[in-house]
Structure 1
Amino acid sequence: FVIMGDFKPAEALTRRRRATLAGARAATLQPMNGRSEAAYQSLVTADISLDGGQKKRDYSLETTRAKSKTKRRNDMSDMLSCHKTQESLLSSASGYKNYRGVLNWCVVMLVLSNARLFLENLLRYGILVDPIQVISLFLNDPYSWPAACLVIEMSLCFSLCAQGSFSELVGFLVHCINMAVMLTFPAAVVLLVPSMTSVGGLFVLGTYTILLLKLYSYKDVNLWCRELSTIKAKKLSRSLSCKSHIHTNIYTYEELYFVCYPGNLTLRDMYYFVLAPTLCYELNFPRSPKIRMSFLLRRLFEMLFFIQLLVGLTQQWMIPIIQSSMKPLEDMDLSRMTERLLRLAVPNHLLWLMFFYSFFHSSMNFTAELLRFGDRQFYKDWWNSESVTYFWQNWNIPVHKWCLRHFYKPLLRRGVSKMLSQSAVFFLSAFFHEYLVSVPLRMFRFWAFMGMMAQLPLAWFVGRFLRGNYGNAAVWISIIIGQPFAVLMYVHDYYVIHYRQEGD
């Protein structure tokens, strides 16, 4: 039958099950005819179980057929439809964050636009780069080197702290006098010695300012150590003194060379701190295991390359724009002044970025690697700043640590409010900005001071009204536009004082 196709095995099995089910049901309907009640109950139970099994099989078959129909319907729907609920990629609700292509496009556009400006500059002014001219920025008189003499004398001011033994009051007075001399003496030399150039004066005052901040930190930390030793503290924090050690015959490098107060009061320890790329003193700095020569040479190459690039771009790009801006500034032509400001913003900002990389990454890492200084966090992600405060806290970590440790927190401990302490920090920064600009130029216009103090209302405005990308854009605009504005103001005043009077 199977071969001939006249009878299907599936149908035969189905009919057999139906016949068995019908027979069982008929048997339950017949009287017991002498059967026991238990036998009758077993027949009823068999009937119910057969019926339930059939229902389960029927339900399973119907479920399978329903799933098959649903799958066929979904497959058909997928074939006919091409839409689903989703957000646009440029919408914030989409969660899309991979904009590398847009960033590459911005870089390409920036390179092309600056290449056009640079070519236009070459066609208009020719080649203006003169490496020999850079020497005259440091040496006005080749037989008189006041800047170099001041830098050499700087070591005497610092080594004075380690000479002799004084009482607490006498030592404090000596430190105050020493720091006052370090602040005023180089400024007086820069202002009174005619052979001191502006660039040389800036280099000297910057070096003395760094040394002044280091000296203040050195004085504070050793004062804290004396106070702790006075109260017989057994264990000092790592930033003040050494850790306690377990007396074993095996020592690590850090354990072997750890120093406790007053064992740190040596010239070797002080001069290491003078050269270290930090402003905050510690008795035991973190040290790297060895000097990596490949890393050191890469940083050295970057330093030399960026110095040459900064000098060349300044001579070729910045100076012609500044010279062409003098006439609009004298005539107070606002439209042309704005145009010159925007023209100056691009090269000024590019040079500032190069300076940041060459100084905070290349040179400071070079010094740290040479001294095996372990803490290499000289900056954080200031480019992601969504507030002005975040930018000033993260673009210059050594200065921020010094202000936080030796100025801001001591003010808070003395009961000064948080807002007033922040304002004091900005005031101190504004003073040193003006000190480093006005004294080398031998004129006092307070543009740098007002620019720094203007950061306070700007920080309040950005923090209150702008968030996220808008705050980040506001920070970038303040950096790109604020700096060239201050540059133009100082250059204009310098030109009016020195060159227009000579012309008259």
Structure 2
Amino acid sequence: MAEGSGGAARRKKPVQRLQSANHSPEEAEPERDRGEAEFRCHRLQESLLSSASGFSNYRGVLNWCVIMLVLGNARLFLENIIKYGILVDPIQVVSLFLKDPYSWPSLILILGSNIFILGSLHLERRLASGAFPERVGLVLYAVLLPAILCIPVLVVFTVLSITPVGSVVALMVYTILFLKLFSYKDVNRWSRERRRAQVRALSRTQSAPVMRKVAGDVGKQEVMYPGNLTHRDIYYFILAPTLCYEMNFPRSPRIRKRFLLRRLLEMLFIMQLLVGLIQQWMVPAIQNSMKPFRDMDYSRIVERLLKLAVPNHLIWLIFFYWFFHSSMNFVAELMRFGDREFYRDWWNSETVTYFWQNWNIPVHKWCIRHFYKPMMRRGVPRWAAQTAVFCASAFFHEYLVSIPLKMFRLWAFMGMMSQLPLAWFVGRFLRGNYGNAAVWISLMIGQPIAVLMYVHDYYILNYGIGA
């Protein structure tokens, strides 16, 4: 028995040692896993720069691009100053607006636009009261709206003291006024049609007092047609940062003074920056591009074009921020205008169509509401309606360039119309990052081409071949 007990004791000792070393079977598994991990160091995975990896954090690469962009442009800017000296002259900007210091044709032309504003208001009042039938209103608007675009043209070509820059500002004001009054006309016409439909429907079941309530309920806080036909209402719309009219715009609760001050300081600083960049960087680059154009030296033309692309694109981006963010937010805050969607993420555009739909939201909304959808309701094919929208945009681009320069070359018109085949090509053959790169390249290269073509033709027309 002693041997049996001793043998049993000997048999139990290894078990005790095993338990003392591992305590439990579950705790033995991590040791075994760690041992296998030491032998295995590979797994199925993609490289980070591969699209299949799903990796998207390129913040360091973006910082590197920004630093390289700053350093590269700093070198170009320093080279420009060494070569040309300081060309920035704020006083010279005044001469772009005034040839004769006692003549203000652009300002007088802008002030004269009030005639069209008041004319549209009083015409709508006559239509609302029934003094004018709808056909008469259409005829009068057929005269009023084209006159908004034609009268500035006559002034530009007859008044010699008006400058090209002053003409551009005046024509921009009249173009915006044309689009706004077109929207004002449509919305009031829709309101009259809806009011007549409501009156006809209610006249079958309601009495006359209810009909008067439909015509205009003064007890409600919201404005109803024709209560909107006031000077205060139309001038609020004319000054508001939108092209589409509504009787009750969304309003912000208050004016944020700090926000307003930040936007004002941005406007002032960026305006000075734009003037300095144009004078110091753009003007010399354009002047140096004239000789290759005259000599038809194609290699030098391409070199000048690429050299002009950088400052031109940088100025365009800064102008976008100044106009669509700083200036329009400043006006919206001052007027407590609630809708601040002036642009969307156009920089992520993977198609040309997406860019034009998102970089200028006020114009896009106007085109959809007053141009594209009415054509679609009349049965116009989708492709024809889209082409018509591009044609209208091309017309206004050419209008704002050719008229101030007093020459017709159609470079802006053809540049806009070329967006149609480009949109088809990018949408059909390019996707994702390739499509986005194609959009950026079209912006960087297309604009300098148009600038050089217009400046070249302007120099030849006004200063001769040897200029």
Report the TM-score when normalising by structure 1.
0.82
2:391 aligned partner, one-letter code: F
2:460 aligned with 1:488, yes or no?
no
Does residue 146 of structure 1 match 2:105? yes
Aligned to 2:216: none
SS in 2 for 1:288: coil
Distance 1:123 1:10, change over 3 A: same
Per the TM alignment, residue 78 of structure 1 is displaced from its structure 2 partner at its CA by 1.9
Q: 161-170 or 261-270, which moves further after superposition?
A: 161-170
Which residue, out of 411, 422, 434, partners 2:375? 411
Q: Deviations over 1:149-171 (max 9, x none)?
A: 01111111111122252322222
Question: Letter of the aligned partner of 1:481 in structure 2?
Answer: I
- Provide closer, same or farther for how the CA distance between residues 10 and 197 of structure 1 changes in structure 2, counting only shifts above 3 A: farther
Amino acid at match of 2:84: Y
Match of 1:78 in 2: 37
Distance 1:288 1:11, change over 3 A: same
2:265 maps to 301
> Of the candidates 186, 199, 203, which is equivalent to residue 152 of structure 2?
186
Q: Partner residue of 1:434?
A: 398
Aligned ranges 1:237-276 → 2 under 5 Å: 257-276=221-240
Cα shift at 1:70: 4.7
1:375-403 Cα offsets, whole Å, 9 max, x none, are 00000000000000000000000000000
Deviations 1:128-167 (A, max 9, x none): 0000000000011111110000111111111112225232
How far does residue 233 in structure 1 lie from its aligned partner after superposition? 6.5
Q: Kindly state the Cα deviation for residue 79 of structure 1 after the two structures are TM-superposed.
A: 2.9
The partner residue of 1:346 within 300, 305, 310 is 310
> Counterparts in 2 of 1:54-453, with a 5 A limit?
70-163=29-122, 165=126, 166-232=132-198, 257-453=221-417
Distance 2:119 2:405 in 1: 30
Q: In 2, Cα distance between the equivalents of 1:470 and 1:418?
A: 26
- For 1:122 and 1:373, the matched residues in 2 are separated by 43
Partner of 1:46: none
Q: Equivalents in 2 of 1:66, 1:268: separation in Å?
A: 85
Q: Deviations over 1:225-274 (max 9, x none)?
A: 00011111799xxxxxxxxxxxxxxxxxxx96410011001111000000
CA distance in 1, matches of 2:135, 2:29: 92
Q: Tell me, which stretches of 5 or more residues in structure 2 are unaligned?
A: 13-22, 127-131, 202-218
- The Cα shift of 1:499 comes to 1.2
Which segments of 5 or more consecutive residues in structure 1 lack a partner in the other structure?
13-63, 236-254
Q: State the alpha-carbon separation in 1 of the partners of residues 402 and 8 from structure 2.
A: 108
User: Cα offset for 1:69?
Assistant: 5.6
What is the deviation of 1:77?
1.8
Give the stretch that moved more between structures: 172-181 or 71-80: 71-80
Letter in 1 for 2:110: V
Cα distance in structure 2, aligned partners of 1:146 and 1:188: 12
Q: How many Å apart are 1:73 and its aligned residue?
A: 2.7
Q: In terms of mean alpha carbon deviation, does 153-162 or 438-447 score higher? A: 153-162
Separation in structure 1 between the aligned mates of residue 303 and residue 319 of structure 2, nearest angstrom: 25
The alignment-based identity, stated in percent, is 65
Question: Which letter maps to 1:91?
Answer: S
Who wins on radius of gyration, i.e. which is larger?
A: 1
What's the Cα RMSD here? 2.1
TM-score (norm 2): 0.88
Query: Any idea what SS the aligned residue of 2:112 has?
Result: helix
1:443 partner letter: M
Give the aligned residue type for 2:67.
V
